[in-house]
Copies of this chain bind each other. A is one copy, B any other.
């Protein structure tokens, strides 16, 4: 749904993944799979399993359940009631086989993991697209010289491919972490206080002659497997899964934000090395007809500025007390959802941005010369140092740089003068360093290594 104050809304269709319907469906999936898991151990009848299966397709009134959920502080009580009515309507008496040994937190935590799994799958796909596009961009510009900048100042030449590799490195790391978390999302099933006592009681009553523990274990496994989650001890008051998930999501948003911040800088009017290709009407202004704003980058930066604080709220919720905490747990819900929204929107948007990034290689090359050669000082010093020692080389180049600025003469010219009395080989070696195409071989090798990792994804 478009949101007046979230221009990224719609990207990646976050509403479909995170809305009330999606959450409710995840809750239903938990309840249904629990019945199947119980049925697999002959703890409930085939009729119950069939009735439960039908619940997956039930129409549920999300708003009504949300509304009814206020009284208890969560929507599970009215949901279970509604599901029970539907189950009984399908096959009388089957409602009693729903929600066996479960508590609200089991349902909501497991649903959170189901939703997270779907979010991660989609974000992972969008990031794969992004990675593919960036890898292509890095290869294309493997040898495109541009000014490397530190603290905003020209430092030494790099290639645009190296810059893109830097973005790629962050995004690959963030994606790897997110997928690792996604591979290990735990199911929650412990009953009111995480003891699994009711499940055990149920086994004792329905299969009095069986050894209970293997059955408990089998139910757990079936429940987890059916939901694509990891079997786990109850974690109602061990919220590490939530902070690991939240950290991984924020890593994605941040890694994208880092790329976007760089694009916004390189798009600056005075730099103009890259630009977002804008369709008609994009990036405009209500006051200035000429404006072509890097609006997508700006919005991605904005997303990355919002996610850190959300992560903090999740870490804060690690500090829980009791077998269900009095506020910490509840503070996770909207926070995690918002982080997921940002990750979905950012990854979908970033992939689109990478597709329409315009690179002005000529401008990059000409910007390298902005400082009249000062940008080569690191290299020049290193070459000189081989002959005259490091300290002398540094001082010589420092003085020459000062002279170059004060006299507005290129550093190459000043150096030629200062090296007049040195031998020709050294002088020509030094002067040859003033070439943006020289000295970037190692950058290319770094690009290759990162690109190779990117291609391993495909």
9-residue interface stretch from A50-58, A124-132, A145-153, A353-361:
A145-153
Question: What's the Cα separation between A397 and B284 when bound, in Å?
Answer: 13
9-residue interface stretch from A32-40, A221-229, A384-392, A416-424:
A384-392
User: In the bound complex, do residue B265 and residue A153 qualify as a contact, i.e. CB atoms below 8 Å apart?
Assistant: no
CB contact between A312 and one of B66, B237, B312, B325 (< 8 Å): that residue = B312
Knowing A243-B247, A251-B244, A262-B322 are in contact, say whether A191-B103 is a contact too (CB < 8 A): no
Q: Which residue of B lies closest to A307 (CB)?
A: B315
Knowing A270-B268, A327-B298 are in contact, say whether A288-B66 is a contact too (CB < 8 A): no
State how many angstroms separate the Cβ of A408 from the closest Cβ of chain B: 13
Knowing A191-B378, A197-B156 are in contact, say whether A311-B315 is a contact too (CB < 8 A): yes
User: In the bound complex, do residue A316 and residue B318 qualify as a contact, i.e. CB atoms below 8 Å apart?
Assistant: no
Question: What's the Cα separation between A102 and B154 when bound, in Å?
Answer: 17
| 4 extra A-B contacts, CB within 8 A, seeds A71-B281, A158-B194, A234-B446 | A4-B66, A73-B295, A260-B319, A309-B312
Question: What's the Cα separation between A236 and B325 when bound, in Å?
Answer: 24
**In this assembly, does A410 line the interface, its C-beta being within 8 Å of a C-beta of chain B?**
no
User: In the bound complex, do residue B316 and residue A305 qualify as a contact, i.e. CB atoms below 8 Å apart?
Assistant: yes
Q: Which residue of B lies closest to A318 (CB)?
A: B254
User: In the bound complex, do residue A74 and residue B7 qualify as a contact, i.e. CB atoms below 8 Å apart?
Assistant: yes
Question: What's the Cα separation between A65 and B1 when bound, in Å?
Answer: 12
State how many angstroms separate the Cβ of A368 from the closest Cβ of chain B: 11
Knowing A3-B66, A367-B270 are in contact, say whether A152-B265 is a contact too (CB < 8 A): yes
List chain B residues, Cβ under 8 A from A443.
195-197
Most B Cβ at <10 Å: residue of A74, A195, A202: A195
Label chain A's interface by main secondary structure: helix
User: In the bound complex, do residue A258 and residue B192 qualify as a contact, i.e. CB atoms below 8 Å apart?
Assistant: no
User: In the bound complex, do residue A286 and residue B77 qualify as a contact, i.e. CB atoms below 8 Å apart?
Assistant: yes
For this chain, the copies found in one complex come to 4
User: In the bound complex, do residue A72 and residue B290 qualify as a contact, i.e. CB atoms below 8 Å apart?
Assistant: no
For A372-412 the 0/1 string (1 means CB < 8 A from B) is 00110111011101100111001101100100100000010
Q: Which residue of B lies closest to A166 (CB)?
A: B237
State how many angstroms separate the Cβ of A190 from the closest Cβ of chain B: 8
Most B Cβ at <10 Å: residue of A169, A321, A333: A321
Question: What's the Cα separation between A71 and B216 when bound, in Å?
Answer: 46
User: In the bound complex, do residue A385 and residue B96 qualify as a contact, i.e. CB atoms below 8 Å apart?
Assistant: yes
CB contact between A258 and one of B95, B281, B319 (< 8 Å): that residue = B319
**In this assembly, does A206 line the interface, its C-beta being within 8 Å of a C-beta of chain B?**
yes
CB contact between A386 and one of B99, B205, B268 (< 8 Å): that residue = B205
Q: Which residue of B lies closest to A309 (CB)?
A: B309
List chain B residues, Cβ under 8 A from A446.
190, 194-196, 233-234
List chain B residues, Cβ under 8 A from A260.
319, 327
CB contact between A240 and one of B20, B165, B170, B198 (< 8 Å): that residue = B170
List chain B residues, Cβ under 8 A from A155.
192-193, 285, 288, 291, 323-324
**In this assembly, does A76 line the interface, its C-beta being within 8 Å of a C-beta of chain B?**
yes
CB contact between A71 and one of B73, B199, B268, B284 (< 8 Å): that residue = B284
Most B Cβ at <10 Å: residue of A258, A292, A307: A258
Question: What's the Cα separation between A241 and B170 when bound, in Å?
Answer: 9
User: In the bound complex, do residue B316 and residue A308 qualify as a contact, i.e. CB atoms below 8 Å apart?
Assistant: yes
CB contact between A439 and one of B4, B200, B235, B449 (< 8 Å): that residue = B200
Question: What's the Cα separation between A100 and B165 when bound, in Å?
Answer: 23
User: In the bound complex, do residue A101 and residue B382 qualify as a contact, i.e. CB atoms below 8 Å apart?
Assistant: yes
List chain B residues, Cβ under 8 A from A101.
382
List chain B residues, Cβ under 8 A from A398.
289-290
List chain B residues, Cβ under 8 A from A305.
313, 316-317, 319, 327-328, 331
Question: What's the Cα separation between A442 and B191 when bound, in Å?
Answer: 11
User: In the bound complex, do residue B66 and residue A450 qualify as a contact, i.e. CB atoms below 8 Å apart?
Assistant: no
Most B Cβ at <10 Å: residue of A307, A315, A449: A315
**In this assembly, does A335 line the interface, its C-beta being within 8 Å of a C-beta of chain B?**
yes
CB contact between A289 and one of B74, B201, B381 (< 8 Å): that residue = B381
